[in-house]
C-alpha cells in the first residue's frame, strides 16, 4: 500500500465526521419555489453541481462548488396500474452511492447549477443516467482513487458519461486535477468547463438552470 493510501485510510474516520458537521441553524437558500422552477429543465443524465454553506468538508474540496449529482427518472406503477416516473438524484455521499428524492436533495442546498453536456445528445444522457443507477449501493471512495469499485461524487458522473459515450463511439472530455496525489475530476471542474462560468470558447458543459439566477418575489 502506498504512503498516500495509508494516510487516506488512516484519516477516514475524521473524513466521515467532517461530512456530518454543519453550521447550526443555517437557512438553506434553495426552496420549494426553486423546485417548481427547475422541473421544466430536467433531463435524464443532467448534472447538479451544488454548494452548501456550513459544511466543514467544504474546506477540503477544491473550488467553490463541492458536490456533483445526476438526475435520474425511475419507472413506477400506481395502484390503478398506470405507469409514472419518479424524479431522483443519484449521488455519492458518506453512506455510498444512493438515490435521493429530488425535493429533499434540492432543499438541502444553498446553490444549485443544472448542467447539460455539449458532447452528446439526450439519448446518451439517458444512457449515462442508467449507468450511474447501476452504481447504487456501492461504497463511497474516501481515497479519491480510480478503479477501486468505490465512488466519490464527481467520479460517478465521469464514469457514467465515459461509459455511455464509449458505447456511442463518442469521447467524453473531462479535465482532471491532482487531488491528494490522484488525478481526479472535482465538482468545480464541471463548472469550470462551462462558458457561463469560465468564458471558455469550447465548453464541455452548458448551464441550463442556476438557482442564483431565479428571482423570488
Give the model confidence (pLDDT) of 132-167 as tens digits.
999 999 999 987 777 788 999 999 999 999 999 999
Residue 4's pLDDT is what? 44
Residue 172's pLDDT is what? 87
Residue 8's pLDDT is what? 47
Q: What is the pLDDT of residues 50-98, one digit of tens each?
A: 999 877 666 667 788 999 999 999 988 888 999 988 899 999 999 999 9
Residue 23's pLDDT is what? 53
pLDDT above 80 (res 15) = no
The alpha carbons of the chain give a radius of gyration, in whole angstroms, of: 17
- How far apart CA 155 and CA 68 sit, in angstroms, is 9
Per DSSP, what are the bridge partners of residue 194?
Answer: 205
pLDDT above 70 (res 24) = no
Locate 137 and state its grid cell: 449501493
Residue 58's pLDDT is what? 62
Closest to 174 (Cα-Cα) out of 57, 68, 39, 52: 68
pLDDT above 80 (res 204) = yes
DSSP string, the chain: --HHHHHHHHTHHHHHHHHT-B-TTPPPS--HHHHHHHGGG--TT-EEEEE-TTBGGGGGSSSS--EEEEEEEEEEE-TTS-EEEEEEEEEEETTEEEEEEHHHHHTT-SEEEEEEESSS-HHHHHHHHHHHHTTTTPPB-TT--SSSS-B-HHHHHHHHHHHHHHHTT-------EEETTEEE--HHHHHHTBHHHH--SS-SEEEEEEGGG----
- How far apart CA 49 and CA 197 sit, in angstroms, is 12
Q: Which residues contact 55 (CB under 8 A, 6 or more apart)?
A: 19, 21, 22, 23, 66
CA distances (Å), 133 to each of 38, 145, 162, 208, in order? Answer: 21, 20, 14, 22
Determine what percent of the chain is predicted with pLDDT higher than 70: 83
Domains of the chain in sequence order: 3-213 (3.90.1720.10)
More reliable by pLDDT, 22 or 34: 34
pLDDT above 70 (res 189) = yes
Amino acid at each position: 500500500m502506498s504512503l498516500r493510501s495509508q494516510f487516506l485510510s488512516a484519516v477516514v474516520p475524521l473524513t466521515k465526521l467532517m461530512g456530518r458537521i454543519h453550521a447550526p441553524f443555517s437557512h438553506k437558500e434553495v426552496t420549494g419555489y426553486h423546485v417548481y422552477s427547475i422541473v421544466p429543465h430536467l433531463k435524464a443524465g443532467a448534472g447538479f453541481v451544488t454548494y452548501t454553506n456550513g459544511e466543514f468538508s467544504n474546506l477540503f474540496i477544491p473550488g467553490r462548488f463541492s458536490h456533483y449529482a445526476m438526475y435520474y427518472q425511475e419507472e413506477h406503477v400506481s395502484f390503478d396500474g398506470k405507469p409514472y416516473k419518479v424524479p431522483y438524484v443519484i449521488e455519492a455521499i458518506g453512506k455510498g452511492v444512493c438515490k435521493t428524492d429530488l425535493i429533499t436533495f434540492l432543499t438541502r442546498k444553498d446553490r444549485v447549477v443544472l448542467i447539460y453536456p455539449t458532447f452528446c445528445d439526450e439519448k446518451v444522457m439517458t444512457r449515462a443516467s442508467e449507468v450511474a443507477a447501476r452504481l447504487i449501493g456501492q461504497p463511497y471512495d474516501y481515497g479519491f482513487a480510480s478503479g477501486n469499485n468505490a465512488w466519490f461524487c464527481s467520479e460517478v458522473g465521469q464514469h457514467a458519461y465515459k461509459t455511455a459515450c464509449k458505447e456511442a463511439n463518442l469521447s467524453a472530455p473531462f479535465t482532471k486535477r491532482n487531488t491528494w496525489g490522484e488525478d481526479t475530476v472535482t465538482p468545480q471542474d464541471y463548472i469550470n468547463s462551462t462558458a457561463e462560468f469560465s468564458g471558455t470558447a469550447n465548453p464541455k458543459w452548458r448551464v441550463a438552470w442556476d438557482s442564483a439566477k431565479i428571482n423570488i418575489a
